[in-house]
């Protein structure tokens, strides 16, 4: 078997590699190229150099979207991870019905973002009507918290599963030894469990951070950026630049925004990985 794999590895790798190149690498390179061009269709482009990059800030919406997205990312990353971890702690205590709870909490993750957005729009609007407040598309603050609630509801279960897996991998003898040494349950948590699940924390913060930063469907369907783009996040802003404006120049500007957006995501994700990685301990 080993030998066969050594000999035939290209056969196993090629399909995925080819799909990856066709579906990801090539469009990605092309996309970067297009950000330097003016175009209506991608076949017929005109090179304009860095022009698009200078025009990114021209329509005054990119900065606001950036700030809004950053604020959202911070709030949702903290909330999702804290709540997800808390749930994971609760559900690794061997209480009855643990499996049912785990399944139930995981389920929201199986529903698509757009659908969730519309469902929550109805729910939140219903609530706001009862409270006699303006609807969610009328108030950017409600919009912000609406997206936070929606993302928490969707993501907590998924992060919980990762944390549960991490917590179950903490050796019981370590915990027992800590207890014998007289550690309180708080000390067990902060000195033993959390350091031991640090790899899970790395993964979960990475996932929530990048997911929140790149959020599109939920933003589109819950608020659509209303009122007047006040709840518009970066991905939606890019989409809007590309499609809601007339004139060939906007396609290139949208593309340039997307490249800037990509760089921002990469930088933020790398910083986060470095920070949490440094806290991981050898088991």
Partner 1 sequence: MKAKKLLSLGIAGTMAVALLAGCSSSGSSSSAASSGDTATSEASAASTTAAGKVYYLNFKPEQDEQWQALAKVYTEQTGVPVTVVTAASGEYETTLMSEMAKSDAPTLFQVNGPIGLANWKDYCYDLTGSDILGQLTSDTYALKDGDATLGIGYVIESYGLITNKTLLEKAGYTIDDIKSFEDLKKVAEDITARQDELGFAAFTSAGMDSSSDWRYKTHLANLPIYFEYQDEGITSTDAIKGTYLDNYKNIFDLYINNSTCAPTELAGKTADDSRNEFLAGEAVFYQNGSWEYVNLTQDGTFTDDDLAMIPIYFGVGDEANQGLCTGTENYWCVNSEAPEEDIQATLDFINWCVTSEEGTKAMANDMGFVIPFKGAQESSNVFVKQDQEMTAAGKTPVSWNFTTMPSENWKNGVGSALTAYAAGTGDWDGVVTAFVDGWATEAALNATA
Instruction: Please measure the distance between the N-terminal and C-terminal CA atoms of the chain and give it in whole angstroms.
Output: 32
What the block records as the tokens of 33 is: 């190229």
Report the 10 Å Cβ neighbour count for 134: 13
Q: Applying CB under 8 A, does 5 fall inside the site for partner 1?
A: no
Q: Applying CB under 8 A, does 31 fall inside the site for partner 1?
A: no
Using the contact rule CB under 8 A, the part of the chain among 19-27, 88-96, 180-188, 190-198 near partner 1 is 19-27
Q: Applying CB under 8 A, does 100 fall inside the site for partner 1?
A: no
Using the contact rule CB under 8 A, the part of the chain among 70-78, 124-132, 201-209, 259-267 near partner 1 is 124-132
Q: How many CA atoms lie within 13 A of 178 on its CB side?
A: 17
Q: Which of 146, 229, 237, 254 binds partner 1 (CB under 8 A)?
A: 229
204, 160 in Cβ contact below 8 A?
no
Kindly report the backbone phi and psi dihedral angles of residue 156, in degrees, each rounded to the nearest multiple of 5, phi listed first.
-55, -45
**DSSP secondary structure, 88-147, as one string:** HHHTTS--TTHHHHHHHHHGGGGS-HHHHHHHHHHHHHHHHHHTT---GGG-HHHHHHHH
Q: Applying CB under 8 A, does 227 fall inside the site for partner 1?
A: yes
198, 276 in Cβ contact below 8 A?
yes
Looking at residues 232 to 251 of the shown chain, list those that interact with partner 1 (rule: CB under 8 A): 240, 243-249
Q: Which is nearer to partner 1, 10 or 97 (CB)?
A: 10
Using the contact rule CB under 8 A, the part of the chain among 51-59, 89-97, 159-167, 172-180 near partner 1 is 51-59
Q: Which of 76, 92, 137, 218 binds partner 1 (CB under 8 A)?
A: 137
Using the contact rule CB under 8 A, the part of the chain among 8-16, 84-92, 103-111, 207-215 near partner 1 is 8-16
DSSP β-bridge partners for residue 39: 45
Give the interface with partner 1 as residue ranges (CB under 8 A). 4, 8, 11-12, 14-15, 18-19, 22-23, 40-44, 55, 58-59, 121, 125, 129, 132, 134-135, 137-139, 224, 226-229, 240, 243-249
């Amino acid at each position: 078997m080993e030998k066969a794999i050594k000999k035939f590895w290209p056969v196993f790798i090629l399909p995925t590699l080819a799909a990856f190149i066709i579906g990801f690498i090539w469009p990605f390179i092309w996309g970067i190229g297009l950000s330097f061009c003016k175009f209506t269709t991608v076949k017929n482009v005109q090179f304009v150099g860095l022009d698009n990059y200078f025009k990114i800030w021209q329509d005054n919406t990119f900065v606001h979207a950036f700030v809004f997205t950053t604020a959202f990312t911070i709030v949702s990353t903290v909330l999702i991870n804290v709540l997800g971890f808390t749930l994971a702690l609760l559900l690794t205590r061997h209480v009855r019905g643990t499996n049912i709870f785990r399944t139930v909490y995981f389920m929201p993750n199986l529903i698509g973002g757009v659908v969730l957005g519309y469902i929550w729009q109805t729910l939140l609007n219903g609530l706001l009507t009862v409270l006699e407040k303006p609807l969610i598309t009328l108030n950017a603050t409600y919009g912000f918290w609406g997206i936070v609630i929606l993302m928490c509801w969707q993501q907590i279960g998924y992060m919980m599963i990762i944390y549960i897996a991490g917590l179950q991998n903490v050796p019981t003898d370590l915990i027992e030894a800590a207890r014998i040494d007289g550690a309180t349950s708080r000390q067990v948590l902060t000195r033993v469990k959390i350091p031991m699940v640090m790899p899970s924390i790395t993964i979960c913060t990475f996932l929530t951070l990048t997911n929140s930063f790149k959020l599109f469907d939920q933003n589109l369907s819950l608020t659509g950026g209303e009122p007047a783009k006040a709840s518009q996040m970066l991905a939606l802003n890019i989409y809007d630049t590309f499609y809601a404006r007339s004139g060939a120049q906007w396609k290139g500007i949208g593309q340039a925004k997307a490249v800037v957006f990509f760089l921002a995501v990469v930088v933020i994700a790398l910083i986060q990985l470095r920070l949490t990685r440094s806290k991981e301990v050898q088991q």
